[in-house]
Structure 1
Amino acid sequence: MLVLCAVWSHVHAAQDPQPYRVGVEDIDYRPYQNGLNGGFEGFGRELLDAFARDRGIRFEYRPMPPSRLLESLLHDRIDFKYPDDPDWHGALRQGYEIHYSRPIVGYLDGSLVPPERFGRPAAEIRRLGIVLGFTPAAWTQPIQAGRVALMENADFSALFQQAMTGRVDAAYADVRVARAQSQRLFGSPDLLVYDPGLPHASGHYRLSSIRHAGLIEDFDRWLAANAALVSRLERQAGLLDPPGSLD
């Protein structure tokens, strides 16, 4: 009887592995992902779920404010962070050995203005709007110098309304996300337009971990072996044709 119980326990553990905690953003960031209302869906979820299925592991997604994600990773409250980029909050990462996956999907964070304000110089931007928790890295220097005031908004609807009514001179957000949110909220993807002449930043989303370097390496191998699947998921999410250049 004891032997049977031991065998059953071993089989049950193999079938129900201990989940890895993945910290994700609790915001609507479609077309990349949507972490509102305690859930997690979209490209990021489908990609990580596909990897987990192939490797026989489980991911437990924990949506939280973007501002808490890095701290949670550094203090071992989550096993993985997605998305991540080593350039985000670089000073906070010093002294920690964080392991990053290979690039997964590119992003372009840009300055967005009403069409009639397109082409104006950066010196005319005095008030910059963002969604709460978003860091406008490309504007760090003028913000720190006091030349640009940062105006935070609870969501994209409030951000767009501020920009359209002139309460901010420009909005700063991921260009793909801004277009998707503009279409969803206002019926047009071009309510605000990306101005490449204003500060912008580009990079790639990655999966990161402190404790699980081996799984990060395995994830890299899986990405390389499943490039066609990754491209299909990107295409389904509308992530293959970014507006602007991901330089």
Structure 2
Amino acid sequence: MKPSHVCSLFAVVCSSAVSAESYVIGVEKLAFAPHYSIDAQGLYQGFARELFDLFAKTSGVELSYKVLPVEQLLPALLSGQVDFKYPDSETWAQEQKAGKSLSYSQGVVEYVDGVLVAPQRHGQPIEQITRLAMVNGWTPWGYQERINAGQIELTYSDDLRQMIRQALKKDTDGAYFNVVVATHYLDNIRARPGALIFDAQLPHNRGSFKLSTLKHAAFMQRFDRFLLDEQRAIAELKGRYRVEANLDSEHIGVEQWKLDFLERQKTREAGGS
């Protein structure tokens, strides 16, 4: 090969490297496993990280993650400091987004936010909820009318750990949070499985986490196509991280062996009646 050809090939390779698409996803500095969390080195990890890494690999783009406190994340998106925000939803922070033309992906993962109570309180009517534990920044959908009427008092905590401790001490009648995340924390970190359980009879909110952007609407179409084309791989990721564990069940987030035990118990009780 002639030297000129070598130089031309080198120029093409360099040009491709320089022109590779590169984007920054703004993510929450929050312990929100199994969806996502930040490790001791400050690196983003969990289901969401693996999902976005898979998208980068299959689409040929370069993605980096900018970890920010939750309250700084939306301003960073609106000011152009990051290209995308995750998670997001059309229903969140609507006042801050007023006048901004944000684009959203299809739902990445489904979630349920609701009240977790002590097992002995399960099934009690909403009138029995007079004090509700919350993490700062959360909105207790379905409870606002009773809060405004002074029938429910909110007790705020800085994080999930503090809120769960408060609820376990019975300082409150229940704790409002993402059900899968709270259950994961109780099972795997606090080592108190079943100490608080989701009460599906109380008001709760269903939705989906989405990717949002202010400037890259065309990119979002590619991401939506990825969600469709890679359904099998994404379903495997969801199953491994249990981010949608039993969302259509009263036992949201409960591990399968516990469900099997409850089913056997129910069968024995039916046989003895």
Q: Same fold (TM over 0.5)?
A: yes
Change (3 A) 1:245 1:65: farther
Output the CA distance in 2 between the equivalents of 1:134 and 1:80.
21
- Matching residue of 1:172: 176
For the pair 1:232 / 2:233, whether they are aligned, the reply is no
For the pair 1:12 / 2:11, whether they are aligned, the reply is no
Q: Structure 1 vs Structure 2: percent identity of aligned residues?
A: 33
Deviation at 1:187, TM superposition (A): 2.0
- SS state at 1:29 partner: coil
Deviations 1:42-92 (A, max 9, x none): 111111111111222111111222232222222222110111111122333
Change (3 A) 1:120 1:85: same
Q: 1:182 aligns with which of 183, 186, 203?
A: 186
Output the CA distance in 2 between the equivalents of 1:52 and 1:106.
22
Contact 2:116-2:197 within 8 A present in 1 as well: yes
Q: 1:196 aligns with which of 182, 200, 210?
A: 200
- Matching residue of 1:161: 165
Output the CA distance in 2 between the equivalents of 1:127 and 1:234.
34
Deviation at 1:192, TM superposition (A): 0.6
Contact 1:31-1:239 within 8 A present in 2 as well: yes
Question: Which has the higher Rg, Structure 1 or Structure 2?
Answer: 2
Deviation at 1:6, TM superposition (A): 5.4
Change (3 A) 1:46 1:191: same
Q: Which amino acid aligns with 1:189?
A: P
Q: Which amino acid aligns with 2:25?
A: V
Deviation at 1:103, TM superposition (A): 1.2
Deviation at 1:35, TM superposition (A): 2.9
Deviation at 1:240, TM superposition (A): 4.3
Output the CA distance in 2 between the equivalents of 1:35 and 1:147.
37
Output the CA distance in 1 between the equivalents of 2:215 and 2:93.
20
- SS state at 1:138 partner: coil
Please, which runs of 5 or more residues in structure 2 have no aligned partner?
251-273
Q: 2:29 aligns with which of 26, 29, 37?
A: 26
Change (3 A) 1:20 1:142: farther
Deviation at 1:244, TM superposition (A): 4.8
Q: 2:216 aligns with which of 212, 216, 222?
A: 212
Cα root mean square deviation, aligned: 2.4
Contact 1:112-1:193 within 8 A present in 2 as well: yes
Contact 1:28-1:36 within 8 A present in 2 as well: no
- SS state at 1:119 partner: coil
- Matching residue of 1:147: 151
- Matching residue of 2:134: 130
Contact 2:111-2:244 within 8 A present in 1 as well: no
TM-score (norm 1): 0.88
Change (3 A) 1:70 1:139: farther
Change (3 A) 1:147 1:68: farther
Contact 2:39-2:45 within 8 A present in 1 as well: no
Structure 1 stretch 71-80 or stretch 168-177: which is displaced more?
A: 71-80
TM-score (norm 2): 0.80
For the pair 1:116 / 2:126, whether they are aligned, the reply is no
